[in-house]
Amino acid sequence: MTYCVGLKIDRGLVFMSDTRTNAGIDSISTFRKMYTWEEPGERVIVLMGAGNLATTQAVVSNLNERVKSTGKRPPSIMHTPSMYQTAKLVGDTVKEVIASSAPAGESADAFAASFILGGQVKGGEPRIFLIYPEGNFIETCEDTPFFQIGETKYGKPILVRAYDPAMSFEETVKLLVLSFDSTLRSNLSVGLPLDLLFCERDTYKVTYRRRFAQDDPYYQELAEGWSKALRTAFKSLPHLKD
Amino acid sequence: MTYCVGLKIDRGLVFMSDTRTNAGIDSISTFRKMYTWEEPGERVIVLMGAGNLATTQAVVSNLNERVKSTGKRPPSIMHTPSMYQTAKLVGDTVKEVIASSAPAGESADAFAASFILGGQVKGGEPRIFLIYPEGNFIETCEDTPFFQIGETKYGKPILVRAYDPAMSFEETVKLLVLSFDSTLRSNLSVGLPLDLLFCERDTYKVTYRRRFAQDDPYYQELAEGWSKALRTAFKSLPHLKD
């Protein structure tokens, strides 16, 4: 499994992903699931994938090969004129990769993968898309300012309750760490380390990047502090009276 | 969908279930999912079901018919000598119902249902079992003192963090309401009203029974108080420094 979140705040875009992949409970590995393309001052693009690892890696390799190739192939992820066109490019690539993996006429379910694509291209707004295995996609809006992929349920309640578009980057990191910690505690197939990335609005670059490992002091402080704070909050609420 | 929890504390057993059933998003109804059999001072048995509603109702009807019939049929749920034998009886009934629903040789998945069975029979301990559609079952233990069925993920983090076997009944109700509230906010197919039931240890009866409807003042107080308390707890935690 996997857990990735892409979240839009007034100040920019924040992304977090775990690094655990598993083919069965007895075959667990660590892979980065967050990929970036950047031309500082011009464009920054972040892609996170959940699902079949061969599919997500093939999609990224395809996108990278188009960046390197010259002339003859369609616009690369470094040249798309907008985030919408970038989402179309990634969606088409996802569709192609999955179609070429599945035997003719058979179900492509085993090869499925979903993606969160976010970023900002000069002249446009920061945007986040959720790309389905079918290649189509949806975009965040005011009512739904974040997307999750993979094991999304355990970490959703805290996101729903504490998100505020005016949050600072530091508060957003806190929120994401808590959402991931709730997930890690309940699902073994989501695991540390976690990758964090912030793209500040209108800088068109990766403003901050960090990896939280098991022994990260801030991660530990938050995880323990949250357990205590939750228990205190729990105790503060009234008991049933009648 | 459905959400039910059966939880064991030192003082007894506590059960909570929602009442929403749906056959597609446009066909939603309210059904009680919690059934009880009781001979005060002798035995109390609680059953909650998640899955195919025809299956769960057929299981309960079967169990009830055996209580009424005389002599010729195997021991009824009012006469099993222990909770373990009660779990076997329910498990066998589940297996029979599902097998008789599925066309010969075809998958029984569409007819599947899971159950939480709890209670206490005189001479034994209070016990809680999780019964699978295959009819086999597992029991709670010190490490895993509760079972959930249905939409289990949203409401699990708070259960895991705040459960303590020494909790009072009132605290346990608070915990369950919060777990259900987190689920209700995220999954439309879990809905109010909620049924609550407490069987105090060694009383062999339903000690307390209550239904929480949408306008229940305690439910509302908790749901609102929890949102505020969570935001306060969230703000109290440290920000990322470097």
Residue ranges with strand state E in chain B: 3-9, 12-17, 20-22, 28-30, 34-39, 43-51, 113-121, 127-131, 137-139, 146-150, 194-200, 208-212
Lowest mean pLDDT segment, chosen from A153-157, A194-198, B12-16, B187-191: B187-191
Mean pLDDT of all residues in chain B? 93
For residue B81, CA distances in Å to B78, B88, B125 come to 9, 11, 12
pLDDT at B168 over 80: yes
pTM tops 0.80, yes or no: yes
Helix or strand or coil: residue B221? helix
**Share above pLDDT 70 across residues of chain A, in percent, rounded to a whole number:** 98
pLDDT at A11 over 80: yes
pLDDT of amino acid A174: 96
User: Would you tell me how many other CB atoms lie within 10 Å of the CB of residue B177?
Assistant: 23
Chain B residue nearest residue A240, CA to CA: B170
pLDDT at A82 over 90: yes
- Phi and psi at B90, nearest 5°, equal -65, -45
A67 near A78, Cβ under 8 Å? yes
Q: Could you read off the pLDDT of B45-54 as tens digits, one per residue?
A: 999 999 999 9
Say whether A239 and B161 touch across the interface (CB within 8 A): no
DSSP state of B103: P
| CATH of span A3-235 | 3.60.20.10
Q: A-side interface with B, Cβ within 8 Å?
A: 153-154, 156-158, 160-162, 168, 170-171, 173-175, 178, 182, 185-186, 218, 221-222, 225-227, 229-234, 236-241
Which residue carries 């690892």 as its tokens?
A53
Distance from CA of B94 to the nearest CA of A (A): 29
pLDDT of amino acid B50: 96
Say whether B160 and A186 touch across the interface (CB within 8 A): yes
Mean pLDDT, rounded, for B113-124: 97
pLDDT at A72 over 70: no
Q: Please tell me which of B23-27, B125-129, B219-223 the model is most confident about, judged by mean pLDDT.
A: B125-129
Say whether B238 and A227 touch across the interface (CB within 8 A): no
Which residues are A195's β-sheet partners? A17, A211
> Which helix (H) or strand (E) segment is B85 a member of?
helix B83-101
Helix or strand or coil: residue B176? helix
Nearest to B186 among A160, A178, A225 (CB): A160
Q: How many interface pairs between A and B have CB atoms less than 8 angstroms apart?
A: 105
CATH H-level superfamily of B3-236: Aminohydrolase, N-terminal nucleophile (Ntn) domain (3.60.20.10)
Structure tokens at B174: 């608070």
pLDDT of amino acid B242: 65
pLDDT of amino acid A205: 97
Contacts of B153 (CB under 8 A, 6+ apart): A153, A154, A186
pLDDT of amino acid A25: 76
Report the relative pairing of strands A3-9 and A12-17 from DSSP bridges: antiparallel
pLDDT of amino acid B70: 61
A182 near A5, Cβ under 8 Å? no
Distance from CA of A117 to the nearest CA of B (A): 23
Contacts of A236 (CB under 8 A, 6+ apart): B225, B229
Q: Could you read off the pLDDT of B127-157 as tens digits, one per residue?
A: 999 999 999 999 999 999 999 999 999 999 8
pLDDT of amino acid B106: 76
Confidence class of residue B5 from pLDDT cuts 50, 70 and 90?
very high
Nearest to A237 among B174, B182, B241 (CB): B174
3-state secondary structure chain A: CCEEEEEEECCEEEEEECCEEECCCCCEEECCCEEEEEECCCEEEEEEEEECHHHHHHHHHHHHHHHHCCCCCCCCCCCCCCHHHHHHHHHHHHHHHHHHHCCCCCCCHHHCEEEEEEEEECCCCCEEEEECCCCCEEECCCCCCEEEEECCCCCHHHHHHHCCCCCCHHHHHHHHHHHHHHHHHHCCCCCCCEEEEEEECCCCCCCEEEEECCCCHHHHHHHHHHHHHHHHHHHHCCCCCC
Q: Where are the domains of chain B?
A: 3-236
pLDDT at A187 over 90: no
Say whether B156 and A154 touch across the interface (CB within 8 A): yes
Nearest to A240 among B158, B170, B230 (CB): B170
Say whether B154 and A158 touch across the interface (CB within 8 A): no
Lowest mean pLDDT segment, chosen from A79-83, A154-158, B193-197: A154-158
pLDDT of amino acid B189: 85
Chain B residues near residue A173 by CB distance under 8 angstroms:
239-240
Q: Could you read off the pLDDT of A14-71 as tens digits, one per residue?
A: 999 999 988 777 888 889 999 999 999 999 999 999 999 999 999 999 999 999 886 6
Specify the amino acid at residue A44. Answer: V
pLDDT of amino acid A149: 97
A124 near A168, Cβ under 8 Å? no
Say whether A171 and B239 touch across the interface (CB within 8 A): yes
Chain A residue nearest residue B168, CA to CA: A239
pLDDT of amino acid A194: 96
Distance CA A230, CA A226 (A): 6
pLDDT of amino acid A104: 76
Mean pLDDT of all residues in chain A? 93
Mean pLDDT, rounded, for A220-229: 92
Q: Could you read off the pLDDT of B55-88 as tens digits, one per residue?
A: 999 999 999 999 988 666 678 999 999 999 999 9
ipTM above 0.85, yes or no: no
pLDDT of amino acid A68: 87
User: Would you tell me how many other CB atoms lie within 10 Å of the CB of residue A72?
Assistant: 5
CA B166, B167, B168 angle in degrees (round to 5)?
A: 120
Plot region of A203 (φ>0 → left; ψ -120 to 50 → alpha; else → beta): alpha
